[in-house]
Amino acid sequence: MEILIAICIGLLYAAGIFLILRRSLVRLILGLILLGNGANLLIFLLGRITKGKPPIIPDSAQTIADVYADPIPQALILTAIVISFGLQAFAIILVKRAYREVNTDDLDQMNTHEQ
Amino acid sequence: MNTIILQIASRYTLPLLLLFSVFILLRGHYLPGGGFVGGLVASIALVLHAFANGIKKTRELVKIHPGFLMPVGLSTSLLSGLFPMILGKPFLTGMWYPHSVPVIGSLGTALFFDIGVYLVVVGATLTIIFSIIEAP
Amino acid sequence: MLLAVLLPFLLAIFLVIPFRKYESLVARTVWIVPAGIFSFFLQTYLSGNTGITGKASLSQIIPYSLQWNLDGLSLLFVLMISGIGTLIFIYAAAYMKGHPYRIRLMGFLSLFMGAMLGLVLSDHVMNLFLFWELTSISSFFLIGFNNEEKASRQSALKALIVTGGGGLILFGGLMLLGQIASTYSINEMIALRGNIVADPFYPVIMVLIILGAATKSAQFPFHFWLPGAMKAPTPVSAYLHSATMVKAGVYLLARFTPVIGGTELWQYTLIALGGITMLYAAFHALLRTDLKGILAYSTISALGMMVFLIGIGTEASLLAVGMFILVHALYKAALFLITGIIDHETGSRDITKLRGLRKVMWPVALAGVLAAISNAGIPPSLGFMGKDLIYESTLHHIFQPIWLTSAVVITNIMLLIAGFNAGWRPFSGNLPSAFSKVHLPEKSMWVPPLLLAVLGLGFGIIPSVIESPLMQDIVMSLHGVSWAGHLALWHGFNTVLLLSGITIVTGIALYFALPQSSKIAAKITGLTALSPENIWTKIALGFNFLAIKITAVLQNGFLRLYILIILAFVGSLLAYKLANQIYFTIDYSYLSPVTVYEAIIVGILIVSILFTVFSTSRLVAVASMGVVGMAICMIFVFYSAPDLAMTQFTIDTLTVVLFVLVLYRLPKFIKLTFAIRHIRDAVVSIGFGTLIALLAMEVLDNQPDRTVSKFYGDNSYVLAKGKNIVNVIIVDFRGADTLVEIIVLSIAAIGVFSLLKLRIRQSQKIE
């Protein structure tokens, strides 16, 4: 399964980068989201995946004795997800606003050349 | 999206979902959940209501501007962190009320911190989405 | 001694104050400071207290100690710096009279003096380097003193680039040397000479240090900044660019002779470097008609001769170096100051026009003649003695006495002519009517050069003043053994005397025989295309051109291209590393098995990613993006991350809602790019994706360190009374992070809010 997830991560990265390299701003944002998902999944995988053992201490015990999923990547990803929502919202609104002002979402037409 | 079914449904799901979000918030310390997820669930509930009944109705229901929740939440979290400093402990030290409280369980600074997170998440999400819905 | 070095710096700071009506008073009394320093060191010298090494620790204020070393070589330089400095300050006050920035010039001069004193007194090589750089910087300010003139600014920049670049090279050499010797004290290095010379890095160190010295002391092919530096006011040229600063390179080589000198490599490099420089520059000096140009090239030639003598490295040649440094400083500073007077009074520095000035300024003419005599080495001047010592040392060289001696003789003949051109020609002949109203300047201008010139003669008549202990100490500090000889004008009839005679007679004969006109100078301008200066300028312009080209290619204003370049670069670095050092061995027994449910989720994930990328409909793309998020959410569910799954689910929902709300106000996808770009981007992105996937698999091969995770597992209930470890980390252990995170979230919300509510006025709209 790890290998399948690794392939998915690679695919997410590739798709994200490909979309970022497009001229359309909407695609750029989609690319950013996919890239973010890829990064989250990568962190998750690097903490090793464990099935059916969430990092929750059983009711009866003070500490967790059994093998359990690594909580640190989970805490990292949780904050990353929320932050990326803020970023995405801002980016989407920026595109919308820019489109209203300059009437294009083509990055190249937004370029102001310094000549 | 002015379907009757959705309108009726949202009328009943809203309080349920809000209650559920508080439940998730409170149980976060022992079981999956917490301020982030709780806040997001609450926002989704209100967004759903806005979709079904129109933004004006939701605004009337909420009464206060959601943006107002952000400073309230931030100060709650900050104060919960500052509280231990009054007692001479480092910033954000976890402190607990020694006895168990019904419904909530143990009462501590971490809980207030999580409530602050919940409020900020609700405030920020709703500010973003409501502004977009209302924008021309 | 610390005070002696600090005093000029303090003076420089003091001179920043605007004095207004006291300006004249300050300018005319500033010389007291260098005079005080001079008398301090003179007194030290007379009391026989040389050979002082000491530490002036500033540890109470700064945790840094300055190691001083005052030996013969340092003493010679210290006396020159402060003694000539005093005269320069007196002279400059008169020379710059009426100039609005007279005090500023003196401030820079003072700064330079402090740096130079520090340079020659430092024992720690890093201190030495620090002061070395300070002299370059103060020289930059002084050359560019007339900063309204473009030529002046260019010369200053050129000098800074050459000497500063040399400083950088020197720094490398000194660092290596310090590492090998494992000490940074020069005195301690001398004892370790055997180890240093035997080290494989020795040639590198030697070349770096020589390069540093060559740039500072204007050795060929780095000499060209020095003639340019003549744009500075004349007192500056006299002080920095003939008497002291340019000798810093010579000082450095002399100082390191006992440490890294004496090998064949060292000898031949320096002999070749100095030899070429002295011949090339002496020849150039003959072709100049501008007084300062003549003096600049003859200075370069003299510096070349000093390097040459250090290269020979025998006791006699090192003594000759010490002697020549002193002789040269005395007569060259005098000649520069005389040039300044002539320039100041007549407004011309062209030796084809200046004539007969002895009739209107006889003390200056006297100084000029005396300096020219000392330069020519005519007895009984000190220059004669210096020249004797030089011939003595070349004649006794073991391998090539004839070649070396003839090179020196030829250089000396040319220098003699140049010296007469500068010191005598303007005063000889009949006074042209144009200059009949020229008058003698005030005393404070003509006394300093006369004093210097007289000293050059006086030391020659009574050599015992400098013989012991000054010259003895210099030989001691350069050669390590004490020298028992005596300085004298008369050594009997021998080859050396014959050579001196030949030099003087041929030189004077040629002086009268050679026509002096600007025609010869004009002839050689055709060759300037090949001169080192020109080549350097071309290289500098080439850099500019290259920078413009590279910028145009790499920074064309298209964000995508930047990303592409960065990714391609990082990708190739990563690929190189992976290809070279990583061997994929995946241990399948560690991996978890694949069930049907998981396989289906992965399938959905892959399909929806492809849809997001290739769909031409925005709605389909956004919806598939949502499906990607949900699939990831399912992966979190399968692999024990309930908190993540919940967050991912809610956020994904909200993102899709957000997109849909905005989407119908956004334009449709249109095909904007060419197919070829698609292919290019596809290659880069697939390549990068593959690398990341490989990297992830490679990491899986190593077992992670779970100490930190275990800490949280063990303590989250005990310390924080929470059983959901992820939540405990977020709200308790890493609470400060979360606090900042919600602040960021609020900022994003406020940003969105203001972006939507903001109304741009029509006048501010971008066309």
Grade residue A14 by pLDDT with cuts at 50, 70 and 90: very high
Q: Provide the mean pLDDT of chain B.
A: 83
Mean pLDDT, residues C148-172 taken together: 88
Do the bridges between strand B96-101 and strand B105-108 make them parallel or antiparallel, or are there none, so unpaired? Answer: antiparallel
Report pLDDT digits (tens) over C7-54: 888 888 888 887 777 878 888 888 888 898 888 888 877 776 555 555
- Report angle CA B1, B4, B5 to the nearest 5 degrees: 95
Do the bridges between strand C65-70 and strand C52-57 make them parallel or antiparallel, or are there none, so unpaired? Answer: antiparallel
Percent of residues, chain A, with pLDDT higher than 90 = 23
Structural contact between residues B69 and B122, judged by C-beta atoms closer than 8 angstroms:
yes
Report pLDDT digits (tens) over C569-610: 888 888 888 888 767 676 676 777 888 888 899 999 999 999
Per CB-CB distance under 8 Å, the chain A contacts of B124 are: 86
Distance to chain B for C759, nearest Cα, Å: 12
Interface test with C, best of A1, A25, A68, A97 (most C CBs within 10 A): A1
Q: How many residues does this entry show for chain C?
A: 767
Report pLDDT digits (tens) over C599-653: 899 999 999 999 888 888 888 888 999 999 999 999 999 888 888 999 999 999 9
Structural contact between residues C326 and C389, judged by C-beta atoms closer than 8 angstroms:
no
How far is residue C354's CA from residue C343's CA, in Å, rounded to a whole number?
10
> For A18, which of C681, C749, C755 is closest by C-beta distance?
C681
Domain containing residue A22: 2-52+69-110
Strands in C322-437 per DSSP E = none
Per CB-CB distance under 8 Å, the chain C contacts of A13 are: 685, 688-689, 692-693
Tokens of C300: 């370069």
Mean pLDDT, residues C82-103 taken together: 86
How far is residue C353's CA from residue B18's CA, in Å, rounded to a whole number?
102
pLDDT higher than 60, residue C517: no
Per CB-CB distance under 8 Å, the chain C contacts of A41 are: 632, 635
> For B128, which of A56, A82, A89 is closest by C-beta distance?
A89
Judged by CB atoms closer than 8 Å, whether chains meet at B131 and C757 is answered as yes
Report the domain count for chain B. 1
Do the bridges between strand C65-70 and strand B96-101 make them parallel or antiparallel, or are there none, so unpaired? Answer: unpaired
How far is residue C748's CA from residue B128's CA, in Å, rounded to a whole number?
9
Residue A64 belongs to some domain of the structure = no
Grade residue A113 by pLDDT with cuts at 50, 70 and 90: very low
> Nearest residue on chain C to B129, judged by CA atoms?
C658
Q: Chains near C, with 3+ CB pairs < 8 A?
A: A, B
Distance to chain C for A52, nearest Cα, Å: 5
Per CB-CB distance under 8 Å, the chain C contacts of A66 are: none
Burial group, residue C438, by CB count within 10 angstroms (0-12, 13-18, 19+): middle
- To which residue do tokens 């001083």 refer? C68
Instruction: Residue C139: name the closest of C228, C24, C36 by CA.
Output: C228
Per CB-CB distance under 8 Å, the chain A contacts of C689 are: 10-15, 17
> Nearest residue on chain B to C722, judged by CA atoms?
B29
Distance to chain A for B36, nearest Cα, Å: 8
Interface test with A, best of C662, C754, C760 (most A CBs within 10 A): C662
Judged by CB atoms closer than 8 Å, whether chains meet at A96 and C666 is answered as yes
The pLDDT score that the predictor gives to residue C58 is 47
Least confident range from A63-67, C55-59, C395-399, C429-433: namely C55-59
The pLDDT score that the predictor gives to residue A40 is 92
Least confident range from C194-208, C269-283, C317-331, C493-507: namely C493-507
Residue A82 belongs to some domain of the structure = yes
Judged by CB atoms closer than 8 Å, whether chains meet at C699 and A46 is answered as yes
φ, ψ dihedrals at C691, nearest 5°: -60, -45
Instruction: Residue C705: name the closest of A40, A70, A54, A78 by CA.
Output: A70
pLDDT higher than 60, residue C61: no
pLDDT higher than 50, residue A81: yes
pLDDT higher than 50, residue B29: yes
Per CB-CB distance under 8 Å, the chain B contacts of C739 are: 77-78, 81, 92, 113
> Quick check: A109 contacting C, CB < 8 Å?
no
Question: What is the 3 state secondary structure string of chain A?
Answer: CHHHHHHHHHHHHHHHHHHHCCCEHHHHHHHHHHHHHHHHHHHHHHCCCCCCCCCECCCCCCCCCCCCCCHHHHHHHHHHHHHHHHHHHHHHHHHHHHHHHHCCCEHHHHCCCCC
What count of CB pairs under 8 Å joins A to C?
285
The pLDDT score that the predictor gives to residue C523 is 59
> For A70, which of C669, C693, C706 is closest by C-beta distance?
C706
The pLDDT score that the predictor gives to residue A52 is 79
Report pLDDT digits (tens) over C659-718: 888 877 766 666 655 677 788 888 888 988 998 888 888 888 777 777 888 888 888 787
Grade residue C210 by pLDDT with cuts at 50, 70 and 90: very high
The pLDDT score that the predictor gives to residue C375 is 84
Per CB-CB distance under 8 Å, the chain B contacts of A56 are: 30-32
> Quick check: A78 contacting B, CB < 8 Å?
yes
Q: Provide the mean pLDDT of chain C.
A: 82
pLDDT higher than 70, residue C516: no
Distance to chain C for A12, nearest Cα, Å: 7
> Quick check: B95 contacting C, CB < 8 Å?
no
Report the domain count for chain A. 1
Angle A71-102/C735-757 helices, nearest 10 degrees?
10
What count of CB pairs under 8 Å joins A to B?
13
> Nearest residue on chain A to C734, judged by CA atoms?
A75
Grade residue C530 by pLDDT with cuts at 50, 70 and 90: low
Judged by CB atoms closer than 8 Å, whether chains meet at B128 and A54 is answered as no
Instruction: Residue C34: name the closest of C70, C79, C97 by CA.
Output: C79
> Quick check: B107 contacting C, CB < 8 Å?
no
Domain containing residue B40: 4-134
Of C211-220, C354-363, C391-400, C429-438, highest mean pLDDT: C211-220
The pLDDT score that the predictor gives to residue C671 is 60
Chain C from 734 to 753: CB within 8 A of any B CB: 735-736, 738-739, 742-743, 745-746, 748-750, 752-753
CATH number of the domain enclosing A25:
1.10.287.3510
Judged by CB atoms closer than 8 Å, whether chains meet at A55 and C669 is answered as no
- Report angle CA C594, C599, C600 to the nearest 5 degrees: 150
Distance to chain B for A43, nearest Cα, Å: 20
The pLDDT score that the predictor gives to residue C524 is 59
Interface test with A, best of B29, B31, B128, B130 (most A CBs within 10 A): B128
pLDDT higher than 90, residue C171: yes
How far the first Cα of chain B sits from its last, in Å, is 18
Question: What is the 3 state secondary structure string of C312-354?
Answer: HCCHHHHHHHHHHHHHHHHHHHHHHHHHHHHHHHHCCCECCCC
Q: Which residues contact A105 (CB under 8 A, 6 or more apart)?
A: A24, A25, A26, A95, A98, A99, C666, C667
Judged by CB atoms closer than 8 Å, whether chains meet at A86 and B124 is answered as yes
Distance to chain A for C609, nearest Cα, Å: 7
Judged by CB atoms closer than 8 Å, whether chains meet at B30 and C731 is answered as no
> For A102, which of C692, C730, C766 is closest by C-beta distance?
C766
> Quick check: B131 contacting C, CB < 8 Å?
yes
Distance to chain B for C750, nearest Cα, Å: 8
ipTM computed for the complex: 0.91
Q: Chains near B, with 3+ CB pairs < 8 A?
A: A, C
Interface test with C, best of B69, B79, B93, B128 (most C CBs within 10 A): B128
> For C688, which of A8, A13, A44 is closest by C-beta distance?
A13
Tokens of C257: 């002779």
> Quick check: B21 contacting C, CB < 8 Å?
no
The pLDDT score that the predictor gives to residue C452 is 86
Mean pLDDT, residues A29-35 taken together: 91
Report pLDDT digits (tens) over C384-427: 888 888 888 888 877 778 888 888 888 888 888 888 888 888 88
> Nearest residue on chain B to A85, judged by CA atoms?
B125
The pLDDT score that the predictor gives to residue A114 is 43
Structural contact between residues A77 and A42, judged by C-beta atoms closer than 8 angstroms:
no
> For B36, which of A54, A82, A89 is closest by C-beta distance?
A82
Tokens of C54: 């000491």
Instruction: Residue C9: name the closest of C97, C84, C117 by CA.
Output: C117
Instruction: Residue C328: name the closest of C392, C419, C395, C249 by CA.
Output: C419
Judged by CB atoms closer than 8 Å, whether chains meet at B96 and C736 is answered as no
CA torsion through residues C237, C238, C241, C245, sign:
negative
Helix (H, G, I), strand (E, B) or coil at C57: strand
pLDDT higher than 80, residue C767: no
Residue A77 belongs to some domain of the structure = yes
Grade residue B99 by pLDDT with cuts at 50, 70 and 90: low
Helix (H, G, I), strand (E, B) or coil at C495: helix
> For B92, which of C646, C736, C748 is closest by C-beta distance?
C736
> Nearest residue on chain B to C653, judged by CA atoms?
B44
Query: Higher-confidence residue: B115 or C591?
Result: B115
Interface test with B, best of A77, A82, A94, A96 (most B CBs within 10 A): A82
How far is residue C606's CA from residue A13's CA, in Å, rounded to a whole number?
12
